[in-house]
Amino acid sequence: TQRTLVLVKPDGVRRNLSGEVLRRIEAKGYTLVAVELRTATRELLAGHYAEHEGKPFYEPLVEFMLSGPVLAAVVEGHRVIEGFRSLAGTTDPTTAAPGTIRGDLGRDWGLKVQQNLVHGSDSEESAAREIGLWFPNL
């Protein structure tokens, strides 16, 4: 079985949607291995978003991710990396399919693609790296 790192981003925590996100994960049959609410640091986000460093949206993304607490979770299950990204929907909430977290709950009032509620690792390599960053004791 696989593990993935899920984040409920600061917009989701602020909008009291952490429980809704965890509910959808559990309803799908995945198992919560670790869950923690905490505010990220620049260092942690530099590691987490290393692949995006230098892109035009990098700085605003990091500022947004520092704007409040994040719910970080390690989620386990068969093909959960793909499975959670399917639950989350595509990056842009405006066009994310209905039935997905971003499609049902995402907002795009303003130009804030980064406020898309959740993060999910995109490969086994990213999952291992991100779980190591957020949960070094796991």
Bind-site residues: 9, 57, 85, 91, 102, 116
Residues that bind Mg ion (CB under 5 A): 122
Task: In whole angstroms, give the CA distance from residue 103 to residue 101.
Answer: 6
35 binds, among Mg ion, ligand GTP, none (CB under 5 to 8 A by kind): none
Task: In whole angstroms, give the CA distance from residue 54 to residue 77.
Answer: 34
Residue 119 known to be catalytic: yes
Q: Enter the tokens of residue 107.
A: 């907002």
123 binds, among ligand GTP, Mg ion, none (CB under 5 to 8 A by kind): none
Radius of gyration for the chain, computed over Cα atoms and rounded to the nearest angstrom = 14
The distance of closest approach from Cβ of residue 94 to ligand GTP in the complex, given in angstroms and rounded to an integer, is: 12
Task: In whole angstroms, give the CA distance from residue 119 to residue 98.
Answer: 18
Of all residues in this chain, which one has the CB nearest to Mg ion in the complex? Answer: 122
Task: In whole angstroms, give the CA distance from residue 43 to residue 45.
Answer: 5
Q: Which residues bind ligand GTP (CB under 6 A)?
A: 57, 60-61, 91, 113-114, 116, 119-120, 122
User: Which residues are annotated as catalytic?
Assistant: 119
